[in-house]
Amino acid sequence: MNSPRPLALTLLLAPALVGLFACARRTDPAYVKSIDAWHAKRMESLRSETGWLTLVGLLPLHAGENSVGSAAGSDVRLINKAPARVGTITVADGRFLFQAAPGVDTRVENAAGVPGAARVDTVTMIGDAHDRPTTVDVGPLLFYVIERGEKTFLRVKDRQSEVRRAFTGVDRFPVDARWRVTAKLVPHDPPVTVPVPDVLGQISEEPSPGTLSFTLAGRACRLVPTGEPGSQLFIIFGDATNGVSTYGAGRFLYADPPGPDGKVVLDFNKAINPPCAFTPFATCPLPPEGNRLTLAVEAGEKSWGGGHH
């Protein structure tokens, strides 16, 4: 007579076996490889000569003439890698006129679109409210105007920054397809804007196409993305990992626009740190009201140890 033990043991192990099979599905090598490739491109972007790791200054501009340079007493004081006197930026009537100091080699993008290829003495700088702001190069530094509400700043980058030199990558959670879910975008009717706070204490009204409803780790969730209808969705969210294993202020996630059925794929394995995780000179938006999940989203990028907190 056969012993019942093998059958009992099989029944006992069945849930674990099911879990193993499910895990195998969750960690499909092709899927992991695709996320790894995506992450590699993300790291390459951070390491670029104009990536967030190069940001070394966020300097306010006032109305009228602003002296720019590394000399003490400059209205806009750059780091010591810049000449003592680089020039001036005159702010008037929504325009930003840069004039180089005598003998200083300052450059902008040429007609072919090559950055730093055309030498200039005077140029009207277009701010970052436009797709391609005017960037002025001086040695290893570059700077351009950014506008945040009623405030205007000079954003300064250093291609040779110590942060960029020391960067070895960003740690992340293991890739797990359980964190890739399908959401339903329920359009706002009528269309609305969403108040989005930022680290400067300002609030901007951003267009939002609707509310995303989905189930994550067995829980019903809702997040409000920003973006124009039909465009890529931008999601600023917080969760229970913030301040523990991930950046305290929250993370970013991008998603393709919804299909005709309103469905949107949210892949939290692609959740990333905001620029403020790497530098104190960024102007990051924060999660809008209601965009903080109560569960721990253990997917995507973790905190960057050398970053700004």
- CA 43, CA 33: separation in Å to the nearest integer? 15
Question: Pairing mode, if any, of strands 64-69 and 87-92?
Answer: antiparallel
Domain with CATH 2.60.200.20 in the chain: 52-165
Evaluate whether 158 touches 152 at the Cβ level (below 8 Å).
no
CATH number of 52-165: 2.60.200.20
For 210-266, how does the pLDDT look when each residue is reduced to its tens digit (9 = 90+)?
999 999 999 999 999 999 988 999 999 999 999 999 999 999 999 999 999 999 999
> Given this model, what pLDDT does residue 191 score?
84
This prediction has a pTM of 0.86
Taking residues 46-53, what's their average pLDDT?
94
Residues written for the chain? 309
167-171: long-range pairs with CB below 8 Å, 24+: 167/46, 167/47, 167/53, 167/306, 169/43, 170/43, 170/46, 170/273, 170/301, 170/302, 170/304, 171/301, 171/302, 171/303, 171/304, 171/305
